[in-house]
Amino acid sequence: MLSHSEASENFIADAERTDWHDETLWFVRAKRDKASKVLPEWEAMREHASQIKDHTLANLGEYLQAFESKAIANGIHVHWAADAAEHNAIVHGIIAAQGSKTIVKSKSMLTEECHLNDYLASKGIEVVDTDLGERIVQFRNEAPSHIVLPAIHLKKEDVGETFHQHLGTPKGNKDPQFLTEAARQHLRGHFLASEVAITGVNFAVAETGEFVVCTNEGNADMGAHLAKVHIACTGIEKIIPKRADLAVFLRLLARSATGQLITTYSSHFHKPREGQEMHIVLLDNGRTRQLADPKYKNSLKCIRCAACFNTCPVYRRSGGHSYHQPVAGPIGSILAPNIDKKANADLPFASTLCGSCSNVCPVKINIHEQLWFWRQDLMEAGLAPAGKTIGMKLMAFTLANPVIYRVGGSLLRRFSHLLNTRLNPWYKQREMPVAPKESFQEWYKKR
């Protein structure tokens, strides 16, 4: 697996595509700015949402139990999964009981986190992703590169070629409307045939036992309304106390995610319709571990709007796949190390700590500060790349001793031309600063 910096270098090698990717996502960020700035109450609303989430996380156990009892009373089957393996086994168990072989699934980053599609495939069950972007990347055997815009790394030419190969559209056709219609017809067949529909969950309401799924394509509804069995998969952090809280979260979510005033479909699933079976799987998978750590606890406030992706100058220029995790971008970089420190030790360093992510976050997660905390924890866990620890200790020693610092500084200036080599990553595409004869301190002494 390539590290973030290696994968980014490959991405950026195509400068034109990188610029296009950057500008496309910047456009979304700009739309978000516009949609947020017309609301005088925007900053107050962020604070309100943040406090609701803080309160919920502080009382998560109670709210989860309240949700469970309401949901059961509504006729929903409630399942608890400690980790991804349990989650997948539960979902498989429900599908197997139906004897279904084809499943439709609307967007759920949680099922990506659990690698549910691969797991079900290994059991001979085909999952058809019904979100257009997800279907495109699924055809290409790729992972989503963005949690809201899964195929944002692809241009319409790429989609045309993919559909030509998988749906038989004419070669060279890259007309978005034509290609969307082709996907629509293709998916319609799957919606009609499928007996089980899987959806994600945006919000689970403790007060009522209902859950809310937001999509712009209506694909979650198409799946859930046609299938005999609806399985909703959610992380335990998606609980909110009251239905009224949606008035805050739905407004923040759409405006933060895409700059829309409201998501096209915000569907409330309250109880199964007659003859339907409804399941909800509540997943922990490291979330309670995170909840227990005061430094990282509030990353669980995330509502998966991806505003931090769109604003991140690094993400826009490195692409989602460079983060080698289902959830990329700044939020992914603080969530992933909680799951696997070693595999994700590079991610908290894939940031300049510019702080833009924390500023756009609708629930005020201190993302850039958590990136900083993860850096400390990962280095303390001994996960520094080769040579870094010694280099850092040497630097710390030098900078702690004024005499050594002065001698070192003077040597560095005198021999700085020796650093003009390809071995110096700074010098690869940048000139070194011109070393002055005198340091400021040397000048000051003579003043």
| Closest approach of another protein to the CB of residue 303, in Å | 17
Which of 20, 27, 415, 443 is the binder for another protein (CB under 8 A)?
Answer: 443
Segment lying near another protein (by CB under 8 A), choices 14-22, 109-117, 207-215, 261-269: 14-22
By CB under 8 A, tell whether 435 contacts another protein: yes
Cβ closest to another protein, residue 34 vs residue 123? 34
Within residues 309-348, the interface with another protein by CB under 8 A covers: 311, 313-314, 317-318, 348
**20 makes contact with another protein (CB under 8 A):** no
Distance CA 378, CA 395 (A): 19
Three-class SS state of 412: helix
Among 252, 360, 365, 367, binds another protein (CB under 8 A): 360
- 402 near another protein, rule: CB under 8 A: yes
As measured in angstroms, the least distance from the Cβ of 262 to another protein is 18
Q: Is-contact 362 251, C-beta < 8 A?
A: no
Q: How far is the CB of 352 from another protein (least distance, A)?
A: 3
- C-alpha 255 chain-centroid distance: 17
Instruction: Give dist(CA 357, CA 62) in Å, integer.
Output: 31
Specify the residue, 17 or 77, whose C-beta has the smaller distance to another protein.
17
Distance CA 328, CA 320 (A): 5
Q: Which amino acid is at 30?
A: A
In whole angstroms, the minimum distance from the beta carbon of 264 to another protein comes to 24
Q: Which residues pair with 240 in a beta bridge?
A: 205
Give least dist CB 428 to another protein, A: 6
Residue 349: how many other CB atoms lie within 10 Å? 17
Using CB under 8 A, pick the residue from 274, 423, 445, 446 that binds another protein: 445
- Residue among 190, 22, 41, 35 nearest 104 (CA): 190
* CB of 334 closer than 8 Å to CB of 296: yes
Give residue 139's identity as a one-letter amino acid code.
Answer: F
Closest by Cα among 352, 198, 177 to 269: 198
The least CB distance from residue 316 to another protein, in Å, is 9
Fill in the per-residue mask, 415 to 434: x = in contact with another protein (CB under 8 A), - = not in contact.
Answer: ---------xxx-xxxxxxx
Report whether 4 contacts 324 (CB < 8 A).
yes
Please report, as residue ranges, which positions from 37 to 96 form the binding site for another protein (by CB under 8 A): 37, 39-40, 42-43
Which of 167, 271, 355, 366 touches another protein (CB under 8 A)?
355
CB of 402 to another protein, least distance (A): 4
Torsion angle, alpha carbons of 85, 90, 94, 96, to 10: 40
For another protein, the binding residue among 154, 351, 367, 370 (CB under 8 A) is 351
Does 17 participate in binding another protein (rule CB under 8 A)?
A: no
Using CB under 8 A, which residues numbered 160 to 179 contact another protein?
Answer: none
Beta strands in 44-195 (DSSP E): 77-81, 102-105, 126-129
Helix (H) or strand (E) holding 351: none
Say what angle helices 132-139 and 156-167 make with each other, to 10 degrees: 70
If one asks whether residue 407 binds another protein (CB under 8 A), the answer comes out as no
Closest approach of another protein to the CB of residue 284, in Å:
28
Q: How far is CA 102 from CA 126, 133, 193, 217, in A?
A: 5, 19, 8, 21
Q: Please give the span between the terminal C-alpha atoms of the chain, in angstroms, as a whole number.
A: 56
Supply the minimum distance, in Å, between the C-beta of residue 263 and another protein.
Answer: 21
Which residues in the 201-260 window bind another protein by CB under 8 A? none
Q: Which of residues 371-400 bind another protein (CB under 8 A)?
A: 372, 375-376, 378-380, 384, 388-389, 392-393, 395-397, 399-400
Of 284 and 346, nearer to another protein (C-beta) is: 346
Beta-carbon count within 10 A of 221 CB: 18
**Interface positions, 101-130, toward another protein (CB under 8 A):** none
